[in-house]
């Protein structure tokens, strides 16, 4: 158990993490740090945090500092935190990109007190209101650059995530970013693009509402996601995202060519090949 945990950011991931710690009795007190008064007050109101404090004051009181904020502001905030922590404290983040952050902290004298993590869970919603109980059960959590963190604090973070019901996997930072581009980031770009396509071509909102079936809803659900979170992710991971986007466009062109040339046989082959994903995702 931690006496005091600080969550930096009081939104979907950090808020759900705090609820999990409270539900499991893993933290006696949770302090929240947020840029906005509205978020601080809502987090207090919802019971996500017990107290709201400025960053420096919160860090000095905490055993564990858990950072879950947009990736473009994570690096400067994390540097500030790492300059404050002692050998008795633990810092972990939950960011969707890892290379830029790990490179930024590579030579910091307190690097060993930091564990780079990415719990692979999220929804299209954001803010304190989006936090939910039992969010992480059955999900994967990636720990990056394990060997660069002090072994005892890696073990503590692993134990926390396991008690939250997560399975742990290990990657280097660049491999993480490559795989995240393929299994997460491209899904969001596709959803944004599909939503824009429908909004551009279908001018009748009632028709979209009435005719959109479950398939469309599930595909376009991610288009509701917060741009303040996703623009920085795409930009930080742009090389991998561009690579997967090129492949995705190539696949779309194959489907387009089949329709243009009325190539039913190849169209069926493309769909049958895609069906193989059910061997992996049930």
Digit-coded pLDDT (tens) for 16-63: 999 999 999 999 999 999 999 999 999 999 999 999 999 999 999 999
CB distance 216 to 199 below 8 Å:
no
Which DSSP symbol is given to 86? -
Q: Are residues 122 and 255 in the same domain?
A: no
What pLDDT, on a 0 to 100 scale, did the predictor assign at position 200?
82
Q: Are residues 163 and 192 in the same domain?
A: no
What pLDDT, on a 0 to 100 scale, did the predictor assign at position 173?
98
Number of domains the chain is built from: 2
What pLDDT, on a 0 to 100 scale, did the predictor assign at position 280?
76
Nearest-angstrom CA–CA distance, 19 and 134: 8
Q: Are residues 125 and 196 in the same domain?
A: no
Q: Are residues 253 and 138 in the same domain?
A: no
- Whether pLDDT at 213 is above 70: no
In angstroms, the Cα distances linking 35 to 39, 58, 119, 159 are: 8, 13, 23, 30
Q: Are residues 167 and 186 in the same domain?
A: no
Q: Which residue, 153, 171, 189, sits at the end of a domain?
A: 171
Helix (H) or strand (E) holding 232: helix 227-236
Q: Are residues 114 and 90 in the same domain?
A: yes
Nearest-angstrom CA–CA distance, 119 and 5: 18
The mean of the pLDDT values for the chain is: 94
Q: Are residues 151 and 107 in the same domain?
A: yes
What pLDDT, on a 0 to 100 scale, did the predictor assign at position 196?
93
Q: Are residues 214 and 96 in the same domain?
A: no
Q: Which residue, 171, 193, 217, sits at the end of a domain?
A: 171
CATH assignment at residue 15: 3.40.50.720
CB distance 13 to 96 below 8 Å:
no
Digit-coded pLDDT (tens) for 156-168: 999 999 999 999 9
Q: Which residue, 171, 201, 231, sits at the end of a domain?
A: 171
Query: Tokens for 259?
Result: 């329709």
Q: Are residues 151 and 195 in the same domain?
A: no
Residues facing 114 on adjacent strands: 91
CATH assignment at residue 243: 1.10.3660.10
Question: H-type helices in 166-226, by residue range?
Answer: 173-180, 186-201, 205-211, 214-220
What pLDDT, on a 0 to 100 scale, did the predictor assign at position 270?
96
Q: Are residues 160 and 206 in the same domain?
A: no
Q: What is the mean pLDDT of residues 90-94?
A: 98
Q: Are residues 92 and 45 in the same domain?
A: yes
Nearest-angstrom CA–CA distance, 40 and 34: 6
Q: Are residues 61 and 106 in the same domain?
A: yes
Domain extent at residue 35: 2-171
């Amino acid at each position: 158990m931690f006496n005091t945990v600080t969550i930096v950011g009081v939104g979907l991931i950090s808020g759900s993490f705090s609820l999990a710690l409270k539900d499991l009795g893993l933290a006696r007190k949770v302090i929240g740090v947020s840029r906005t008064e509205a978020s601080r007050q809502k987090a207090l109101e919802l019971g996500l945090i017990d107290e709201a404090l400025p960053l420096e004051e919160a860090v000095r009181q905490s055993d564990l500092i858990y950072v879950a904020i947009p990736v473009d502001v994570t690096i400067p905030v994390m540097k500030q935190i790492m300059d404050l922590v002692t050998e008795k404290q633990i810092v972990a983040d939950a960011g969707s990109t890892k290379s830029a952050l790990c490179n930024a902290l590579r030579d910091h004298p307190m690097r060993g007190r930091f564990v780079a993590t990415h719990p692979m869970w999220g929804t299209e919603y954001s803010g304190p209101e989006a936090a939910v109980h039992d969010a992480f059960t059955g999900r994967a959590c990636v720990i990056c650059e394990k060997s660069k963190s002090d072994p005892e604090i890696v073990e503590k973070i692993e134990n926390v995530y396991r008690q939250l019901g997560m399975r742990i996997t290990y990657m280097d930072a660049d491999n993480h970013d490559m795989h995240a581009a393929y299994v997460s980031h491209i899904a969001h770009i596709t959803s944004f693009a599909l939503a824009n396509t429908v909004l551009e071509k279908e001018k009748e909102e009632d028709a979209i509402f009435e005719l959109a079936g479950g398939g469309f809803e599930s595909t376009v659900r991610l288009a509701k996601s917060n741009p303040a979170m996703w623009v920085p992710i795409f930009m930080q991971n742009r090389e991998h995202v561009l690579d997967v986007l090129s492949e995705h466009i190539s696949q779309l062109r194959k489907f387009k060519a089949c329709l243009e040339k009325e190539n039913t046989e190849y169209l069926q082959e493309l769909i049958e090949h895609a069906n193989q994903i059910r061997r992996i995702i049930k």
